[in-house]
A and B are shown apart, each in its own frame.
Chain A
Amino acid sequence: MIPDQSETLSRTILVLLPEIVLALSAAAIMVAGPFFRRGRSLWAGLSAAAIGASLLALLAVSGSGTDAFAYGSVALNDALSVYGRFAFLITGLILLGLAHNQVGDDRAAEFFGALLFVISGAMLVCAANELIFLFVGLELVSIPTYLLLYLPRRNRTTQEATTKYFFLSVFSSALLLFGFAYLYGLTGVSNLKALAFLMGGGGEVITTGTAAIGSIAVVFVTAGLGFRVAAVPFHFYAPDVYQGAPTVITALLAWIPKGIGFVAMIRVLTSVVSVGEPMLSERAVFLAWLIAAATLILGNTVALVQTNLKRLFAYSSIAHAGYLMVGVAAAFARVEDPANLGPYSGAEGIVFYLAAYALMTLGAFGVILYLEGSGERAETIDDLSGLSRTRPLLSLAMALCLFSLAGVPPLAGFWGKFFIFASAWTAEPIQGIPSLQLLAVIGVINAAIGAYYYLRIVAAIYYGTPARSPAAESRSAAGWPTAMAVGTCAVLSLILGLIPGPLQSASRRAAVAAIGQPAPGTSGPEGEDETETDDVALVRPRPVR
């Protein structure tokens, strides 16, 4: 049966309990900030408690299914939503550990409140099942990010980075909204599951002619999200902003916008387009093909000549957007039967890669932060040379993260690349556009190029000579939360690389849930073929309000 509106709403609120807990705590911290003059450790501790409470809430609601009202609710609790929200909460804890001493006492409440808002916005994006709700979730990430960029340090470089990021982010939001308007105009429904269902509805609603309008939507939504994930040609802000921003915010920018950008692409684009009109899906594959190839080549080749660590990681993050775009290209390919994905699906590769990417990137930035926190210079590659002599454990963590970024087996980054390239390699060839296998080959070549500049850092750490004699007495400790966050990232990268099974099956479930279409009006299993009308006979008339 179809739940009526108030039942749908109350169950959606229940599903969104983790976000509500997080957002209310963030609001409370921000309001309390001016009245309680305490140091930053109180606010950091409260934020950690809020993330913990949100994790508990997520575990509590993770069992409640939303298939029965998937076509009418603004948020879903499917496998992708649980996976993404869990990932953002864990990485939120890691980010909190990295950020705990990065802001002055006077701005701590606003800073940590904004951080919690960013995490809750990212979680809303994972759960979103409606165009406007998704957009508002994306904005709930963007607007606190401007605040985070500016609060920790107020000098000219931060100002420049904030201004650049602010204007480009607003511009990308406008592009995204323009695309959403066309996507909505195609069918007149804003619910994403319903949109995907109508796109695939036997050519009745979407015809070849309307596919042209759909391609406007695909182009503009890809452009708007391309800014967030820093894909070529929308990457140009990344190096300047990454270099100018405080390091912990650079870490946040390297992960959160990229994560939500790709989750939003899975939700809005690939799940909707791949089940729809073949012509639209072919064009979308071609678009993603071009972006992926350009992003990979530009990101990796320019990263080769960088010496500044933050700029290098900026180009490396552009290159990783390229690997993920390979997954998007594979995910755009037409899926005949939403219930039956192939052995490797693009969306599966993307969500696996995102989790691995989060750990390795945050770990690498965490090492830089740790060094900065203990009063050492960590701006260029040369600053790291000979680090293994003075800090063997930290060097090991950095090496693990860098090996994972380079895609060396058996670390998490290797499996991420493997699943993405496998999905591109096994995709059906499409007439008229370069094959996805060629794209996979380009990706593998670029992974080899990328390995060079990551291994260069590792070589500097282990075989370089220290630029200056380590003065042990001048060093101060950087704080245990930072060390713990770095350790967690490195250890998890190793564990997920050695035992990729659980994460892989979770990403598999997420990919299936993202594209699956619950049978309309029944709470049956996911992915019922929409041409079967047997179930529909059982549907009761919609309750008249």
Chain B
Amino acid sequence: MTLLDSRDLALIAAIVALGWVGIWLLLPHRHGGVKTARAYRVGALLSAIAVLLVLPYLTPPGDLLARLFFYSFSLLALLGAVLMITARNPVNSALWFAVVVLSSSGLFLLAGAQFLAAGTVIVYAGAIIVTFLFVIMLAQSHGQAIYDRSARRPLAASLTGMLLLGALISAIIAPGATRKDGDPAPIYSVGAIADQPPADGPIAAVTAQALTETSRLPRPLEQGETPAHVAGLGATLFTDHLLTVQVVGLLLFVALIGAVAIATPKAPIRPDRSTASSSPGSATTNPGGVS
């Protein structure tokens, strides 16, 4: 019961092995020491070969220009990811993470998901990485600590990560591995089923109920017209997922109250007047906490 041919398996094994050694060489030393420049060079070479071996599994879209952008964004994202986990300075890590996020936004844009691309840039590159940087700057007022510069269990961690990558690649390419040209796509598009009239069969009926008009992708329009992504997203959020949006509102409310309740350094002395009047010292020693 094997789904992959031996060539694929060998390629994936090579990616795992090369990536493991390469990332391990690139990662900071276990005790925060400095490795030799040769170790970094060999590590970079091996990781680069592993990254190049991944590329054949990517399916680029459309014409030459889109292809060009696709490969540059993909390479940039992979490169940024490797550099993010191997950087010895947390600030550099955060900045490389920004590179990863920006290049994945580019990939989203190529896939036609404009809102997701914009949202990723705004939320991740705009808000979260800036917060990371603030936290790192504030935490590093006394220089880097040893745990910032050292990698924890680098050998085991890089092996686990690479094994996971290998398993994911093989599982993802498995559906298409035995496919000949002209076969239907391995992943079934239920959007096509949902367009059939429900009387065509139970599957069509169920799909039509599960995929309401608002939750489908906008139909391909005439040449030059762009489908209204944000409008479509808003429509599906506030019709199909209205209740989910409400529960997310509750989540934000709890998070807000929780942040206030946890962050206030001293509990405001509140309840009975008797304890408040019997211990005036607490009010003077803690002026900020008096409610």
Contacts and interface: CB of A to CB of B under 8 A. Distances in A.
A187 interface: yes
A106 B258 contact: no
A501 interface: no
A140 B198 contact: no
A477 interface: no
A37 B178 CA distance: 70
Contacts of A124: 247
B253 interface: yes
Contacts of A38: 271
B240 A209 contact: no
A97 interface: no
A539 B186 contact: no
Given A136-B244, A541-B197, A107 B267 contact: yes
A160 B121 CA distance: 33
A521 B205 contact: yes
Contact of B188 (A110, A137, A187, A212): A187
Interface residues of B, number: 60
Interface stretch (A196-204, A320-328, A348-356): A196-204
B250 A147 contact: no
Contacts of A5: 212, 214, 239-240
B138 interface: no
Contacts of A146: 258
Given A147-B254, A521-B198, A536-B202, A12 B207 contact: no
Contacts of B262: 147, 150-151
A9 B241 CA distance: 9
Interface string B156-196: 00000000000110111011111100000011111101000
A30 interface: yes
B222 interface: no
A201 B193 CA distance: 12
A13 B244 CA distance: 11
Given A39-B271, A205-B188, A216-B168, A279 B1 contact: yes
Interface in B225-247: 239-244, 247
Nearest to B168: A216
Contacts of B197: 541
Contacts of B258: 110, 114, 143-144, 146-147
Interface string A5-16: 100010011001
A130 B239 CA distance: 14
Contacts of B172: 212-213, 216
A209 B175 contact: yes
A207 B175 contact: yes
Nearest to B167: A216
A201 B175 CA distance: 18
Contacts, number: 199
Contacts of B199: 536-537, 539, 541
Contacts of B174: 209, 212-213
Interface residues of A, number: 82
A117 B214 contact: no
B213 A106 contact: no
Contacts of A27: 250, 253
A107 B175 contact: no
B251 A533 contact: no
A132 B244 contact: yes
B269 interface: yes
A124 B244 CA distance: 10
A72 interface: yes
Interface string B244-274: 1001101101110110011000011111100
B198 A139 contact: no
A210 interface: yes
A521 B243 contact: no
A379 interface: no
Interface string A166-187: 0000000000000000000111
A511 interface: no
A462 interface: no
Nearest to A133: B244
A18 to B, nearest CB: 14
A539 B190 CA distance: 19
Nearest to A206: B188
B143 interface: no
Contacts of A205: 188, 190, 193, 203
Given A139-B251, A189-B211, A213 B175 contact: yes
A2 interface: yes
B208 interface: yes
A521 B248 CA distance: 30
A187 B206 contact: no
B3 A209 contact: yes
B261 A520 contact: no
Contacts of B247: 124, 133, 136-137, 140
B201 interface: yes
Contact of B191 (A107, A188, A204): A188
Contacts of A30: 253-254, 257
Contacts of B251: 136, 139-140, 143
Contacts of B255: 143
A545 B242 CA distance: 17
A195 B251 CA distance: 26
B210 interface: yes
Contacts of B188: 187-188, 204-206, 210
Contact of A117 (B187, B209, B250): B250
Q: Which of B168, B203, B291 is most buried by chain A, counting CB atoms within 10 A of its CB?
A: B203
A349 to B, nearest CB: 29
A132 B250 CA distance: 15
A148 to B, nearest CB: 9
Contacts of B253: 27, 30
A169 B261 CA distance: 20
A133 B250 CA distance: 13
Contacts of B268: 106
B186 A210 contact: yes
Contacts of B241: 74, 132-133
Given A107-B261, A204-B203, A210-B186, A136 B248 contact: yes
B209 A213 contact: no
Contacts of B168: 216
B210 A72 contact: yes
Q: Which of B186, B261, B269 is most buried by chain A, counting CB atoms within 10 A of its CB?
A: B261
A211 B172 CA distance: 10
A75 interface: yes
A193 to B, nearest CB: 8
A69 interface: yes
A533 B205 CA distance: 11
A23 interface: yes
B269 to A, nearest CB: 7
Interface string A502-545: 00000000000000000111000000001111011101111011
27 contacts: A2-B205, A9-B239, A12-B243, A23-B250, A27-B250, A69-B209, A74-B243, A104-B267, A105-B270, A106-B270, A133-B241, A133-B247, A140-B250, A144-B254, A146-B258, A147-B258, A150-B262, A189-B207, A205-B203, A209-B176, A213-B172, A213-B187, A216-B172, A519-B202, A521-B209, A536-B205, A541-B199
Question: Which A-B residue pairs are the 7 nearest by beta carbons?
Answer: A194-B210, A209-B175, A212-B174, A71-B209, A520-B205, A105-B271, A147-B258
